[in-house]
């Protein structure tokens, strides 16, 4: 099959489009290559949040949602929307997996672990209270919440309001307790930093915790006094009688898979080798709101949706080759999420994982390993091995999350250099490039409403740059339109399952 080759998709993670220059790391950066591409080639913007990507109104997009929609070529109704509907319709309490959890908790403790915030990226506090209400109504005698604190998809110091709500609930319901508190930096790692996960695990199962407090709010105030924001709150024991023990039941309240996997492995896997477990309680029943992947066989409340004939599957079915490449931080997104929840590569698909730098936070190395990723792409283009190349550059999101403006500017400038090198190689090879993003972040680095750094995602549109033939970009597009557009660039007709549209009007 003869197609325009190679077709390269560059996803600049967390790289929104915002015309205001104040607190905008992209506007402040020196970006000669991106500026020239937007001037000399077809440029537009597309939506990457709210209902246009299957999220509730007002909800900003995220990397999981973005890559699902991009890879599927259609709007994928998101898990948060499905769960919200069950809560609103009062049907969550009847969920079979949840009912089983209540039955197994007879005479034992029922533990809820997960991110306690309204960020809506990995979890939502409303889901916690819906499950708590159901457990109380079902007569569960001892219910324990172990909140992981956010400060990443919410302002850096915003957890007190969420913990206060939870404490008020425990006062009204004496069977509900708070066992431990820990920041997501430790409990929700996704980069095999097992030393971080161990501190959360040890607190959850009662091995040890670096700190203790009389209440969750007190634990937070103590952490602030130590100079720790929500995300980095060290594990704190609130009630030594409320840790996870043999025969207990655990519900993981995170609906997004990538940052729920490692703590799940530590709690469940008999052959786990991430760190030495001083205690390994025999959990009677473990469930989560959603599936964390095929290798996780525990029951789930909301089964995965089937996504057929997404971009990866369709490209493979046409006998074409494809490369997926990203740093560790975004590797699940270019593989599992982009493939609609499929772990295994398709026929003709290869993958390159570039380890992310081993630094505590990425403001310490804002270029991350984007130059290494770039080198791999350029080599792949020059070797003419692949028909499609899909890459995620993590910098805009990972450095944007630190809230450090100067570092975010450096990250954008590093991206500009890398994008330019890729574009040069692709043009020399006779290929075409589509440059876009999965959601916004680094284009807004300060929240004037609360006077804190803005570390979360945004609802801004994202850039859409086509580097190829003379063309214009249609307005009104969204992430669902990227896959059909890529296929049009290659001269292919999208499959019927893709409801997205080609956004390029060739001259």
3-state secondary structure (DSSP) of residue 324: strand
Instruction: Spell out the alpha helix ranges (H) of 96-173.
Output: 96-104, 125-137, 159-172
Separation CA 398–CA 361 (nearest Å): 8
* CB of 302 closer than 8 Å to CB of 267: no
The torsion angles phi and psi of 202, rounded to 5 degrees, stand at -60, -35
* CB of 10 closer than 8 Å to CB of 436: yes
Separation CA 409–CA 195 (nearest Å): 30
Region of 222 on the Ramachandran plot (φ > 0 left; ψ -120 to 50 alpha; else beta): alpha
Separation CA 62–CA 48 (nearest Å): 8
Binding residues: 13, 63, 122, 152-153, 184, 190, 256-259, 330, 397, 401, 438-439, 457
Separation CA 77–CA 499 (nearest Å): 13
63 included as an active-site residue: yes
Residue 195's contacts (CB-CB under 8 Å, 6 or more residues apart) are: 275
* CB of 447 closer than 8 Å to CB of 471: no
Separation CA 364–CA 357 (nearest Å): 10
Separation CA 327–CA 355 (nearest Å): 5
Separation CA 469–CA 220 (nearest Å): 55
Half-sphere exposure of 446 (CA within 13 A, CB side): 11
* CB of 320 closer than 8 Å to CB of 346: no
Rg (CA), the chain: 23
Catalytic residue among 63, 117, 123, 316: 63
Binding residues for substrate: 122, 152-153, 184, 190, 256-259, 330
Catalytic residue numbers read: 63
């Amino acid at each position: 099959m003869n197609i325009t080759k190679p077709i390269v998709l560059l996803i600049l993670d967390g790289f929104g489009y915002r015309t205001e220059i104040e607190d905008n790391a992209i506007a402040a950066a020196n970006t000669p290559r991106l500026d020239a591409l937007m001037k000399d080639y077809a440029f537009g913007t597309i939506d990457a949040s709210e209902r246009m990507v299957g999220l509730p109104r007002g909800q900003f997009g995220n990397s999981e949602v973005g890559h699902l929609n991009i890879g599927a070529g259609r709007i994928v109704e998101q898990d948060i929307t499905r769960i919200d509907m069950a809560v609103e319709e009062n049907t969550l309490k009847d969920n079979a997996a949840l009912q089983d959890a209540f039955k197994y908790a007879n005479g034992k403790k029922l533990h809820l672990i997960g991110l306690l915030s309204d960020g809506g990226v990995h979890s939502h506090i409303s889901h916690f209270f819906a499950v708590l209400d159901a457990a109380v109504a079902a007569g569960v005698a001892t219910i324990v919440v172990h909140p992981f604190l956010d400060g990443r998809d919410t302002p850096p110091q915003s957890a007190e309001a969420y913990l206060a709500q939870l404490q008020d609930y425990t006062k009204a319901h004496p069977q509900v307790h708070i066992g431990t508190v820990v920041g997501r930096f430790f409990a929700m790692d996704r980069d095999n930093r097992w030393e971080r996960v161990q501190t959360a695990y040890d607190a959850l199962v009662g091995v040890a915790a670096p700190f203790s407090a009389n209440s969750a709010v007190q634990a937070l105030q103590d952490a602030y006094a130590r100079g720790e924001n929500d995300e980095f709150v060290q594990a704190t024991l609130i009630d030594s009688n409320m840790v996870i023990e043999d025969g207990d039941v655990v519900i993981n309240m995170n609906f997004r898979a990538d940052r729920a996997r490692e703590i799940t492995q530590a709690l469940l896997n008999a052959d786990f080798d991430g760190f030495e477990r001083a205690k390994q309680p025999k959990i009677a029943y473990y469930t989560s709101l959603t599936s964390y992947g095929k290798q996780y066989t525990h029951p789930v409340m909301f089964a995965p949706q089937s996504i057929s004939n997404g971009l990866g599957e369709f490209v493979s079915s046409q006998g074409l080759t494809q490369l997926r490449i990203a740093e560790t931080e975004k590797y699940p997104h270019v593989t599992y999420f982009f493939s609609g929840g499929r772990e295994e590569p398709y026929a003709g698909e290869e993958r390159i994982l570039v380890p992310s730098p081993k630094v505590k936070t990425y403001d310490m190395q804002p270029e991350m390993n984007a130059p290494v990723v770039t080198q791999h792409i350029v080599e792949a283009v020059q070797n003419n091995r692949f028909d499609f190349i899909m890459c995620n550059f993590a910098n805009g999101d990972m450095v944007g999350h630190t809230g450090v403006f100067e570092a975010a500017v450096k990250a954008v400038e590093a991206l500009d250099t890398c994008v330019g090198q890729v574009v040069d190689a692709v043009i020399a090879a006779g290929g075409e490039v589509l440059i876009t993003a999965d959601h916004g972040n680094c284009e807004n680095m300060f929240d004037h409403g609360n006077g804190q750094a803005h570390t979360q995602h945004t609802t801004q549109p994202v850039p859409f740059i086509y580097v190829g033939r003379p063309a214009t970009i249609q307005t009104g597009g969204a992430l669902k339109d990227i896959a059909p557009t890529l296929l049009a660039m290659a001269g292919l007709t999208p499959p019927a399952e893709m409801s997205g549209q080609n956004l390029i009007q060739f001259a």
